[in-house]
Amino acid sequence: MHPRMTGMWHHVGAGCGEGRCGGHGRHAGWSEERYHAGGDGGGGLGAAFGVRRPLRFLAWKLELDEAQVTGLAAILNELKTERAQAAVDDRRALTALADAVAGETFDAEAAGRFALVAAALSRTGAPIGVADTLIAAQALALGLTLVSSNTPHFKRVSGLKLENWL
């Protein structure tokens, strides 16, 4: 915990009411009225905002009003949701790849191509990673054209038909 947060923690967690502070002077510049019924719903540090403590601290330090904090909280919530959705999309893509590799479509021919491609790339000293090697081997085994925007990676695989649609 940051040293400046201890004063806030004392006020919010332990309470700094009558007889507790005793004028100890460890408030680290925090405003007393901000903590004690300072127009924020009585909960201290902007409890009426309904946001988490770090955002309330930031709002206090930047002297934001309730409307600004509400807008900032909405933006942060959207970013958090987008980040979570991106993680879900990544897991779905990885699951689809794992299903393709584990399924009947990834046969002995594709496994043999994988070994040849991985060995060739290793000899050149420019491997492209296991997932990309699996993708290239599958395209080679099925005689398909690989569509990817990662052309610098896949150009290293000899015999691979490659297109970039972007």
Q: What is the pLDDT along the chain (166 residues), one digit of tens a residue?
A: 556 655 555 555 554 555 445 555 454 444 444 444 344 444 444 444 444 577 778 888 888 888 888 888 888 888 888 888 888 888 888 888 777 766 657 788 888 999 999 999 999 998 898 889 988 998 998 888 999 998 888 999 999 999 998 8
pLDDT for residue 9: 54
Q: For the domain covering 107-166, report its CATH number.
A: 3.40.50.1010
Read off the tokens for 65. Answer: 């009003």
Instruction: Round to whole Å and give the CA distance between 73 and 81.
Output: 12
Instruction: Round to whole Å and give the CA distance between 117 and 76.
Output: 44
Alpha helices in the chain (DSSP H): 5-9, 32-35, 53-62, 66-102, 108-124, 130-142, 151-154
CATH 3.40.50.1010 boundaries in the chain: 107-166
